[in-house]
Amino acid sequence: EVQLVESGGGLVQPGRSMKLSCAVSGFTFSNYGMAWVRQAPTKGLEWVATISYDGSSTYYRDSVKGRFTISRDNAKSTLYLQMNSLRSEDTATYYCTRAYSSYINWFAYWGQGTLVTVSS
Amino acid sequence: DIQMTQSPSFLSASVGDRVTINCKASQNINRYLNWYQQKLGETPKLLIYNANSLQTGIPSRFSGSGSGTDFTLTISSLQPEDVATYFCLQHNSWFTFGSGTKLEIK
């Protein structure tokens, strides 16, 4: 069974940093692209970042470029999202997602999400 | 950027009813449209991919149709366990989600 478990969320002040993790099981992590998707309170879902199966390619939405970094450790079957210079508009539940296949990057499986609150 | 307009936002129907939910893209997305279901307290689940392909394990009462800019998710006979929020995702050009439809039983 595919499982994605996020951690690392919480309350953080504006301008500070936070790192999210996503531990996966039930599939061969190194075969799939991964992504982070977020949902702000009372708002819709929003794609944040994608990383290829081997970590060689990364993609970001414009509003997080230069502030967020997606990465992965295939030996540990773990996905990360380093978030710097956080803003109030980054407040959201962050979901870890797995791609459908090694070359199809949309979101086939989702974690439960971890809440990030950016506030002073 | 491609915008996705989903309707209705809220839907109340009776068990056994045929239910339809719509997503409209701001430009042609071919058939690159998925539908997801999210029950309260659960992770989102993929129902339909590429407009009309049923994901493995999903009941056949769920179906998808459409191409270009207009897409529909249909539940042929609503069941109590279908209470959830449904949302669409376009993956023709990066990724954009619909705003969601909250479905309840009358």
Chain pair A-B, CB pairs under 8 angstroms: 41
B-chain residue closest to A106, CA distance: B91
Residue A103 has pLDDT above 90, yes or no: no
Quote the pLDDT of residue A79: 98
Report which of residues B64 and A41 the model is more confident about.
Answer: B64
- The phi, psi pair for A85, rounded to 5°, reads 50, 50
Mean pLDDT across the stretch A64-87? 98
Distance CA A77, CA A24 (A): 6
Q: Please give the Cα distance from A59 to A52 (Å, whole number).
A: 9
Rounded distance between C-alpha atoms, residue B73 and residue B19, angstroms = 8
Does B89 touch chain A if contact means CB atoms closer than 8 Å?
yes
C-alpha gyration radius of chain A:
13
| Run of H or E residues at A34 | strand A34-39
Chain A residues within 8 A of B95 when measuring between CB atoms: 37, 47, 106-107
- Mean of the pLDDT values across residues A41-55? 93
Q: What is the pLDDT of residue A42?
A: 84
Rg value, chain B, Cα: 13
User: Is B91 in contact with A46 (Cβ distance < 8 A)?
Assistant: no
Mean pLDDT of the A1-17 span: 97
**With contact defined as beta carbons under 8 Å apart, do A84 and A68 qualify?**
yes
Nearest by CB to A106, which of B43, B91, B100?
A: B91
Q: How far apart are the first and last CA of chain A?
A: 39
Nearest C-alpha in A relative to B42: A112
Q: Flag whether pLDDT at B41 surpasses 90.
A: no
Mean model confidence pLDDT for chain B:
97
* Sole residue written with tokens 């936002």: B9
Which has the closest alpha carbon to B59: B40, B83, B77, B71? B77
Q: Is B94 on the interface with A (CB under 8 A)?
A: yes
Q: Which helix (H) or strand (E) is B20 found in, with range?
A: strand B19-25
Kindly list the distances between the CA atom of residue B25 and the CA atoms of A9, A117, B29, B66, B81, in Å, as whole numbers in the listed order: 33, 31, 7, 11, 29
Which residues in chain B have their CB less than 8 angstroms from residue A112's CB?
A: 43
Give one word for A53, left, alpha or beta, with left for phi > 0 and alpha for psi -120 to 50: alpha
User: What Cα–Cα distance (Å) separates residue B2 from each residue in A16, A48, A97, B26, B50?
Assistant: 31, 15, 21, 6, 16
| Chain B residues within 8 A of A95 when measuring between CB atoms | 43-44
Considering only CB atoms, B87 lies closest to which of A45, A106, A111, namely: A45
Residue B33 in contact with partner chain A when CB distance is under 8 A: no
Query: How many alpha carbons fall within 13 Å on the CB side of residue A20?
Result: 34
The minimal CB distance from A44 to the residues B34, B49, B99 is found for B99
